[in-house]
Amino acid sequence: MGKTETQNQTVKIAKGDIVIFSDATTEYHKEAIKKIVRNYYDPTVGAVSGRFEYIDPKGTQVGLATILFWRYENFIKSRQTRIKTITGACGCIYSVRRELYEPLRRDIISDLVEPLKILEKGYRIAFEPEAVAFEQTTERPSQEFNMRIRVISRGMNGLLSVRSLLNPFKYGFASFQLFSHKVLRWLVPFFVIILFFANLALLGTGFYNVVFAFQVLLYIFAILGWIVDHFNIKVKLFSLPLYFCVVNLASAVGLVKTIGGGKHIIWETSRD
């Protein structure tokens, strides 16, 4: 049935006031649940996301970049919750008030859409940085690429199901977050293609020559990162360029799949 439908069925028989969702490959810090629950003393809070940290015991190139990316994500969430609310949760560690839970379609990513459904009801979503969950990173670019296609495609389908939240006149800051943090990020691969060819057309002056050289260098490093990874060689310098290209290529493929009606309901983890 997939994770989302399993959650739908489980919440029906749950008896507690607060329901916490996890992943099969996730480990919680021993204080995580206590830290999550304390946020519900605020009656305006309808959902709470914990902090997700990747660990990379093998020191892989993709793993290093994934860790850096999620540190950046956690920083964004911590700033958003200080202003008012976040708009999505970490699927491996988030919770909701059971009375507010709304069943979702099987093909929808629950950690994005369930909090948004609660946001629609007038509640806010809190981020609890001291509630920490740990999970191992993927080890290969191909694993990360396939996983990102699934996550991004489900996220796009999910956002389409609550597209009313993109109305800034009604939802204000939440709408801005969704557009800037989700929609624009998914469109980055198309922006960088436009940037590359626009820069190519403007070659001839110092500034544009330097910028173009940096772009070319980034893609060369990404290609070299993929090559050395194939031979199980680790070069940290190539980690971020490789990850940047893998994630954005996955965004482009995910968008094409979403437009074509593709759906991801169940999957097998690539991690042990």
Q: What is the pLDDT of residues 199-211, one digit of tens each?
A: 999 998 889 999 9
| The pLDDT of residue 222 | 94
% of the chain surpassing 70 pLDDT: 96
Burial-class residue 217 by CB neighbours within 10 Å (0-12, 13-18, 19+): exposed
Over residues 4-59, the pLDDT tens digits come to 899 999 999 999 999 999 988 899 999 999 999 999 999 999 999 999 888 887 77
The mean pLDDT of 53-71, rounded to a whole number, is 83
Tell me whether residue 151 is in a domain: no
| The pLDDT of residue 233 | 81
CB 119 within 8 A of CB 164: no
Domain extent, residue 24, equals 3-139
Tell me whether residue 28 is in a domain: yes
| The pLDDT of residue 93 | 93
What is the pLDDT confidence band of residue 231, given thresholds at 50, 70 and 90? confident
Tell me whether residue 121 is in a domain: yes
Give the residue from 87, 113, 88 showing the smallest Cα distance to 7: 113
| The pLDDT of residue 217 | 96
Question: Given a cut of 60, is residue 113 above it in pLDDT?
Answer: yes
- Range with the poorest average pLDDT among 51-65, 201-215, 253-267: 253-267
Question: Given a cut of 60, is residue 264 above it in pLDDT?
Answer: no
119, two tokens: 């946001």
- Average pLDDT across the chain, whole number: 89
Tell me whether residue 133 is in a domain: yes
Question: Given a cut of 60, is residue 131 above it in pLDDT?
Answer: yes
% of the chain surpassing 90 pLDDT: 54
The mean pLDDT of 134-145, rounded to a whole number, is 84
Tell me whether residue 84 is in a domain: yes
Please tell me the pTM assigned to this model: 0.84
Number of domains in the chain: 1
Burial-class residue 138 by CB neighbours within 10 Å (0-12, 13-18, 19+): buried
Question: Given a cut of 90, is residue 259 above it in pLDDT?
Answer: no
Tell me whether residue 255 is in a domain: no
| The pLDDT of residue 57 | 76
Q: What CATH number does residue 62 fall under? A: 3.90.550.10
| The pLDDT of residue 68 | 87
| The pLDDT of residue 21 | 94
Question: Given a cut of 70, is residue 265 above it in pLDDT?
Answer: no
Tell me whether residue 207 is in a domain: no
Tell me whether residue 118 is in a domain: yes
| The pLDDT of residue 126 | 95
CB 104 within 8 A of CB 24: no
The span from the CA of 175 to the CA of 177, in Å, is 5
